[in-house]
Chain A
Amino acid sequence: MDAQEFETKITALVSTALAAVNGAADLDSLENLRVQYLGREGELTVMLRGLATLDKAIRPKAGQLGNQAKGQIEQAHESKRSQLYDSGLNKRLAKEAIDVTVPGTRALNGHIHPLSQISSEIISIFYSMGFTVADGPEVETDYYNFDALNTPASHPARDEQDTFYTNIGPHSLLRSQTSTVQIRVMENTKPPLRIIAPGRVYRNEEVNARKYPLFHQVEGLLIDKDVNFGQLKGTLSAFIQALFKKPVKIRFRPDFFPFTEPSAELDSECPFCSGKGCKTCGGRGWLELLGCGMVDPNVLKGVGIDPEEYSGFAFGMGLERLAMLKYDINDIRNFYTNDMRFLEQF
């Protein structure tokens, strides 16, 4: 076989093969064609194997032609294969069409109670100012709830209509304020100390939109050398701005608590009327946010801290009150009814 003859033969083979490959109807027949031409006993494979018998002079040229032919067929096969695969897949996908606007599989989402949320927020703000969380019992004694807090037996807060007493003993009561934790901490820890004590308190009051026989407070206490009223103002101002995440106009108004002196009420400008006076603030233009003051020397003495060496400030706030303000909740009973329609809004 001379060169001319080989070339004619191989060209004819390529053109037949390409026509067949391009005309293949499906992946199976395409695979059969690949075996027919490129398989171990395929027509092209056999022809190329015959190159060895050719004259040495034409072998290089023939080899070149043979490789070209193989490449052409392989390329045609690959492009046909991917074309057939895509069109087959596309047909299948089209059959899988669904209404993609149908609702997804939904699950109940867990929600954290708003009082927990605001409590965590308050704790984390004070944590960043170096305060740690302290805890104390809810069933307390009158010593921790009153006497140690400079509240003598004749104070109206000790009246039976305000405080719940229990069967545990003549001095046992349900704490009416978280200030009890101040005393327990100071009894056990030497200053300097900075604590924040969130917890449940109880008062014997008729249930209405503003009152419930139990509610929650967060108490704070800082005792150190050279603590003054200016630092109380600075700390609580910083706290309020952080809690409401915007500048809030506040004022410190003189007030009286048995266990702090001087004492103050921290008011914020009423956010509902911008200080003009409305129903929420009772026309005052200001809302009470928390009570605070310098720890009374009698309280320090009572727990064995020398008031000439140490001073400190304390503050207490109602969680419900802050949450009602922050989330615009108008009835305190919502917090304890646990209606899912309420809980799922937080």
Chain B
Amino acid sequence: MKLSFDWLSEFVDLSGLTAQQVAEKLTMGAFEVEEITIIGPDLEGPIVVGEILEIHQHPNADKIRLTKTRIKAGEEPLDIVCGAGNIEVGQLIPVALPGAKVVNRHDGTALLIKASAIRGVKSNGMLCSPPELGITKNQQDPSQDEGIWILNKNGSSNGSNLELGSDVLPLLPTKADYILHVEPRSNRGDALSVMGLAREVAALFGRPLKKPDWSLDELKESLGEKKPTSKFNQAIVENTNDCPYITLRVIEGIKIAPSHPTIATRLEAIGVRTVNNVVDITKYVMHELGQPLHAYDAALLKSENLSVRRASDSETITTIDGKERKLNNEMLAIADHDVIVGVAGVMGGKDSEISDQSTSLVLEAACFAPAVVRRGSRLLGLSSDASLRFERGVDPASVRHAAERAAYLIAKYCSDGSNAVLGSLIEAGSNKIEPGLVTLRSSQIKRILGIDISSERIKDLLTPLGFTVSGSGETIEVKVPSFRKEDVKREIDLIEEVCRLNGYDAIVPSMPAATMAVARPDDSLDLAKNALTGMGLSEAWLSSLVPEDQAGIDKQLAVEVLNPLSKDHQMMRQSLIPGLINACGYNQDRGRKDVWLFEHGRVYFKEAAKDNKSTGVREDNHLAALISGQRFKAVNQAVPAVDYNLAKGMVENLLSALNIDERKLAWRPLSEGESAALPWLHPYRTAVLSLNRPAKPNANKEAPTSLFASNITLGYVGELHPRFADSKGLREKAFVFELDIDRLKKERKTKKFTGIATSPEIVRDITADFDATDKDVSYEQVSKLISKVAGSNLRNNELVSVYKASEESKKFSMTCRLTFQHPSETLTNEEIDKVLSTIRESLNRELAASFRL
């Protein structure tokens, strides 16, 4: 909310305080002031009364003169240069001294005064004209605008009591006001007003609140014994849970006109649009006291009462903003018999609003339940200054005071002379509040805040805010004022209040005692990221909210946002790859050919909720990458091709960095179903990595096509499907992999040194010929079979070459280099030959391999 410094000063003594000081105190007292803006001339001293003693011609300029101006009796005069034509010796004039801030009369900006040289002559200040002091033409003698402001002109009354060196600012007809932009606090509805913040300022500075200088009773007396002619006489409340208290009052003899200047100026200063004298006063009182009010044109009400009740589904209202709105039973309405004249706490109706013709009115001040107002406001998509306050809670005990204040101002400012006729207060519900009583233990203050605060100090801190504090020592009894009943209910609420008023700076920093052992964090992700960056991949962070039509989303398992920001942020992703492909396209579109990216992030699948702590969603951590373009830039040299093998090699390196035993893993081609589910993958150039053991019965039966639904699947690596790559506008071939890092973590083995064998190695190549006409044969099958039958002395099996006579040929040969070694003994050629022949037999039997001799 916007708080006027001038308005505030009506409620609390601010003498000697600047707006800046008040803002700082409020900020450190839980009411953050985000900004201070200035209304009116932005002037700063020293600007003082001076006397012109001498005037000389400037040596280098025709229109500029030099003055000797004295600003203190008995002191040397100052040299000040002046361009105005109206100065004479003996005049008293305003002098802005170095450091002062005045208004630049050419463009209205701030002008800082400093000692300077003007055409080679030193000047120690500036003689000011009215515009330079923020005085506009209309308000002062127009003849003076172009010249210096002569304070003792024609022996004016001003001149007689002017003292040399005294401050000029108090002499100015218009003063600046400072508007403090205070962040509203959701739990402090009581502080959304000048009065509420005045209480805070008074408590924070230890200054007294000022007593209001108005009395409705006195005004009534002066108006005489007139009674309203209207028969309006009743307020009806259907349910006091919705509306604990309401007051209505008839006021007649009204004349609608523009607002009194003081009221208009203050409202405009805080950005409130003025309408007419009556409406402005309802707004004025709301901003002053925090109580929203509404005035109905009494002549436009049909019945003799207003009732507060839930609207029914068939009812409608045209609100003051001119929109017709459908109501329902969740909304609270103000009804004139069967006509809805307002949405309670939100906005009044157009048909009964105050117009230029209005001569009598019914003034409403009430307390509506926060939840009901909030619900109505949300359902209608309509919020107002009134709903903002009702949602945060309005104090029933303060309603009447505000109702009287508004009646006073309307009677005083909205009629000709003393024509206003004030009806008596009509009430319904109750404004009686049971006082809240909270016990505060001194030991708890020490326990929570770490410092001791004496009971005397607590009393001093809380009393100015309206709390009644009694008792001392360990147990302190605190009576909570009605307007704080909602946010101060417990001991901890009082501890916070004491802490804030005593100042957070008074809390002494310390360190918590070490009472527990530290668990070692899992380092899998760090190792994986190190390995990937080492291979040249940069880390991406992608959105987990993806478009509704994202490829590869299994709709049955999809987590979908019901109120998405846009169609582009509607689904929770099930794979990281589509995002990486988009990022690749984004970079290629900007001329970047080589894009090597990886991401660690979550994917989301619906699953059956197991218990009440479960969310019904499985969230897995995936690690995925995309490579496109070259990694190396070399001059006159071939660089390794980026192809499927390079991408697969990266995965293999990654597995090795995580110390995962490759013998526990198996690679296989993509199945048809998987290929359909993951449309970005080349159907014949993708390998699926899984654990080399049978899958457990599928926990997620709803997901037969999802690759990761099987609990042994670890991930895949492959070339991007050309159709998919084309559709995304990729300009280069790209290769991707995606792994379930949660499952990989579980397969890591601890590192252990197994010694370095010193016995000799025997290396043998074995070349097998295959014919894939009937049945495909993969390296995976060959190597797994060799491992199975070669015995424990096989150290290493390296695929050296795969040879095909032509692309189309179904016949091919595969050469494996086998390294044999016994940990301690020397193997003989005979032993190895025996093993090799076993291998050949097995390959022949199981994979129909033949061997050339």
Chain A residues near B (Cβ < 8 Å):
102-103, 105-113, 115-116, 120, 123, 127, 130, 132-133, 137-141, 153-156, 159-160, 164-169, 172, 174, 184, 187, 192-194, 200, 202, 204-207, 213-214, 222, 224-231, 233-235, 237-238, 251-256, 261-265, 282-284, 294, 296-297, 311, 335-341, 343-344
* B539: chain A residues within 8 A (beta carbon): 110-113, 116, 343
Judge whether A231 and B511 touch: CB under 8 Å: yes
Judge whether B28 and A253 touch: CB under 8 Å: yes
* B370: chain A residues within 8 A (beta carbon): 154
* B586: chain A residues within 8 A (beta carbon): 337-339
Interfacial residues of chain B within 185-226, with CB under 8 A of chain A in the complex: 185-188
Interface string of B600-636 (1 = CB under 8 A from A): 0010101000000101110100000000000111110
Judge whether B563 and A160 touch: CB under 8 Å: yes
Judge whether A234 and B509 touch: CB under 8 Å: yes
* B512: chain A residues within 8 A (beta carbon): 222, 224, 227, 231, 234-235
- Identify the 10 closest CB pairs spanning chains A and B, nearest first: A110-B533, A230-B450, A228-B450, A254-B30, A234-B509, A262-B496, A108-B536, A338-B540, A338-B583, A233-B509
Judge whether B560 and A167 touch: CB under 8 Å: yes
Judge whether A261 and B186 touch: CB under 8 Å: no
Q: Which of B28, B537, B541, B635 contacts A115 (CB 8 A)?
A: B541
Interface string of B526-557 (1 = CB under 8 A from A): 10010011111111111111000000000000
Q: How many angstroms between the C-alpha atoms of A138 and B635 in the bound complex?
A: 48
Interface string of B266-287 (1 = CB under 8 A from A): 0000000000000000000000
Judge whether B378 and A283 touch: CB under 8 Å: no
Interfacial residues of chain B within 140-173, with CB under 8 A of chain A in the complex: none
B515 at the interface (CB under 8 A from A): yes
* B673: chain A residues within 8 A (beta carbon): none
B35 at the interface (CB under 8 A from A): yes
Judge whether B563 and A230 touch: CB under 8 Å: no
Extra inter-chain contacts (16) besides given A164-B563, A255-B30, A341-B590, CB under 8 Å: A108-B594, A110-B534, A110-B539, A113-B540, A115-B541, A138-B604, A139-B619, A154-B370, A165-B562, A169-B616, A172-B617, A213-B543, A227-B512, A228-B447, A261-B496, A340-B595
Q: Which of A120, A213, A261, A263 contacts B545 (CB 8 A)?
A: A213
Judge whether B518 and A109 touch: CB under 8 Å: no
* B30: chain A residues within 8 A (beta carbon): 253-256
* B541: chain A residues within 8 A (beta carbon): 113, 115-116, 335-336, 338
Among listed B408-416, B498-506, B657-665, B733-741, interface-contacting one: B498-506
Given contacts A130-B518, A140-B615, contact A165 B511 (CB under 8 A): no
* A140: chain B residues within 8 A (beta carbon): 615
Judge whether A110 and B536 touch: CB under 8 Å: yes
B17 at the interface (CB under 8 A from A): no
Judge whether B533 and A111 touch: CB under 8 Å: yes
Q: Which residue of A lies closest to B621 (CB)?
A: A135
Q: Which of A108, A132, A160, A213 contacts B521 (CB 8 A)?
A: A132
Q: Which residue of A lies closest to B532 (CB)?
A: A110
Count chain B CB atoms within 10 A of each CB in A106, A202, A262 and give the residue with the most: A262
Among listed B44-52, B66-74, B487-495, interface-contacting one: B487-495
B572 at the interface (CB under 8 A from A): yes
Judge whether B587 and A339 touch: CB under 8 Å: yes
* A207: chain B residues within 8 A (beta carbon): 565
Judge whether B518 and A107 touch: CB under 8 Å: no
Is the contact region of chain A dominated by helix, strand, or loop, or is it mixed? mixed
Interface residues on B, range: 35 or more
B592 at the interface (CB under 8 A from A): yes
Q: How many angstroms between the C-alpha atoms of A154 and B391 in the bound complex?
A: 9
Judge whether B186 and A256 touch: CB under 8 Å: yes
* A109: chain B residues within 8 A (beta carbon): 533, 536, 538
Given contacts A109-B533, A154-B374, contact A234 B510 (CB under 8 A): yes
Can you report 10 residue pairs joining A to B where beta carbons are below 8 Å apart? A108-B537, A108-B594, A110-B533, A110-B535, A159-B378, A168-B615, A214-B545, A229-B507, A231-B512, A233-B509
Judge whether A228 and B448 touch: CB under 8 Å: yes
Judge whether B631 and A256 touch: CB under 8 Å: no
* B590: chain A residues within 8 A (beta carbon): 339, 341
Q: Which of B29, B490, B633, B637 contacts A297 (CB 8 A)?
A: B490
B597 at the interface (CB under 8 A from A): yes
Q: How many angstroms between the C-alpha atoms of A109 and B374 in the bound complex?
A: 54
Judge whether B504 and A130 touch: CB under 8 Å: no
A103 CB to closest chain B CB (Å) equals: 6
Q: How many angstroms between the C-alpha atoms of A105 and B637 in the bound complex?
A: 9
Q: How many angstroms between the C-alpha atoms of A37 and B576 in the bound complex?
A: 80
Q: Which residue of B lies closest to A216 (CB)?
A: B541
Given contacts A109-B533, A343-B539, contact A138 B544 (CB under 8 A): yes
A130 CB to closest chain B CB (Å) equals: 5
* A230: chain B residues within 8 A (beta carbon): 449-451, 507-510
Judge whether B499 and A262 touch: CB under 8 Å: yes
Judge whether B563 and A338 touch: CB under 8 Å: no
Q: Which residue of A lies closest to B487 (CB)?
A: A256
B514 at the interface (CB under 8 A from A): yes
Judge whether A264 and B563 touch: CB under 8 Å: no
Q: Which of A213, A253, A283, A296 contacts B569 (CB 8 A)?
A: A213
Q: How many angstroms between the C-alpha atoms of A253 and B565 in the bound complex?
A: 33
